Amino acid sequence: MTALGPEVSGRLEGTARRLTALSIGAYSNPHVRFDWPDKPSPDRFAMSESLLAMGGHPLLRKMDDGQRWRLALLEATNFFSLNIAGERELMEGLASRLYGSLPVFVSRYLQHFLHEENAHTSVFARFCLDYGGQIFREPQVRLPRRYLPGEEDFLFFARVLIFENVAHYYNRQLAGDESLWGLARDINRYHAEDEVRHIAFGRELVGDMWQRFAGRWSEEDRDRIRGYLAAYVQTVLRSYVNADVYRTLGLPETTRGEILETAHWQDLAAKSTRGVTACLRAIGVVEQ
Amino acid sequence: MPLHDREAVLGRLRAWLGKANPAVSQAHLDPDTDIIESRILESLQIVEFILFLEQLAGRRILAEELDPATLRTLNSIYCNFFESQP
């Protein structure tokens, strides 16, 4: 049994139709939207200092301006690389779910969702390759596993909702930072504008699926699924602290582990997950 | 300092898995136990586990080396990432 059958709620239908209209109205060509200089701005950071994962690490205080500028550029490259990896998984999942047993109004919205994610990816990749010198890898291995009826679809969209919510926190902060390099700020603003719709859809869809399926799963399975999603939140957060960034800068191998212990990082992690925790609580996935 | 002594590597792997999954006693984890099938290593732990392997081996693990089969047992992990270098 798929969680994405034709029996979705009227509320989800209304949301999908409204978001489809909004996506049509917001349509833009990402290939002409931005000006791409040959080199990154030499006197502006690509990532807000307050969002640098290294913000609380003693090594940051020992860096000169040039080193901090380079760190900010690589952290921005990591942020966009994470989004490329996340959106790749999302696009694969959306494409495989199009026009199956879905109501047509949902498929129609997923078509916009897919298009917008693909457009973001092309922008992020250009930034990473032109300025960061690389797209940071995601050392992931997918393990085969068995699912309960409805669980695979539910977990797919719940993971998307979590990933996008955390990224959205960063997008909004970066989009509003007037001290940032203009191109980095504009890309984040562009991403944030589209993600508002994606998150609205995800919240409605995940809530709809949870309402329809949680009652069919045992209490033990619901707890397991809650535990999985809580662990996924931590996985997403930790991916923002990429050992390859610090290796590229020639910092010690222990840097990543030390960053994860800093109060700055833990505060950033708490702030960036506040939205998604509230969202999952409202849906009922996280208990009050 | 990269580790290549088999028993030392297996000891560190057991310790990591024991910390990541306290519900399972790792002290005598058999080197041929399927740690994926037995869910000693869960999918969401993979990234951290690979980063740990890189620290232990003192080298970057390439994407083409990453396959569920290479991570299935302590023996396969040792053979693929510590015994033979690409």
- A-chain residues within 8 Å CB-CB of B42? 231
Q: What is the pLDDT of residues A182-192, one digit of tens each?
A: 999 999 999 99
What rounded mean pLDDT belongs to chain B?
Answer: 86
Q: Is B63's CB within 8 Å of A137's CB?
A: yes
**Cβ pair A150, A216 in contact under 8 A:** yes
What sign has the CA pseudo-torsion B40, B43, B45, B49? positive
Q: Is A65 within the bounds of a domain?
A: yes
Give yes or no for residue A246 having a pLDDT over 80.
Answer: yes
Query: CB under 8 Å to A32, separation ≥6 — which residues?
Result: none
Helices (H), chain A: 10-25, 30-33, 58-62, 65-97, 104-127, 151-175, 182-213, 219-239, 243-248, 255-260, 263-283
pLDDT at A222 over 70: yes
Count structural domains, chain A.
1
Single out the residue of A266, A253, A235 nearest to residue A56, CA to CA.
A266
CATH topology of domain B6-83: 1.10.1200
Let me know if residue A5 belongs to a domain.
Answer: no
User: Which CATH number covers residue A56?
Assistant: 1.10.620.20
Q: Is B71 on the interface with A (CB under 8 A)?
A: yes
Alpha-carbon span A38 to A28, nearest angstrom: 23
- In terms of residue numbers, what domain contains A232? 10-40+52-283
pLDDT (tens digit per residue) in A194-213: 999 999 999 999 999 999 99
Q: What is the pLDDT of residue A153?
A: 92
In Å, how far are A85, A193, A267 from A26, measured between CA atoms?
A: 24, 9, 34
Tell me A56's DSSP state: G
CB A182 within 8 A of CB A33: no
Do A101 and A5 contact (CB within 8 A), yes or no?
yes
* pLDDT score of A1 more than 60: no
Mutate which: B43, B62, B64, B80, vs A, most A CBs within 10 A: B43
Residue B53 Cα, gap to closest chain A Cα (Å): 11
A156 is a domain residue: yes
Whether A3 is in a domain gets the answer no
- pLDDT (average), residues A4-15: 75
Task: Identify the band that residue A151 occupies on the pLDDT scale cut at 50, 70 and 90.
Answer: very high
Cβ-defined contact of B63 to A139 (cutoff 8 Å): yes
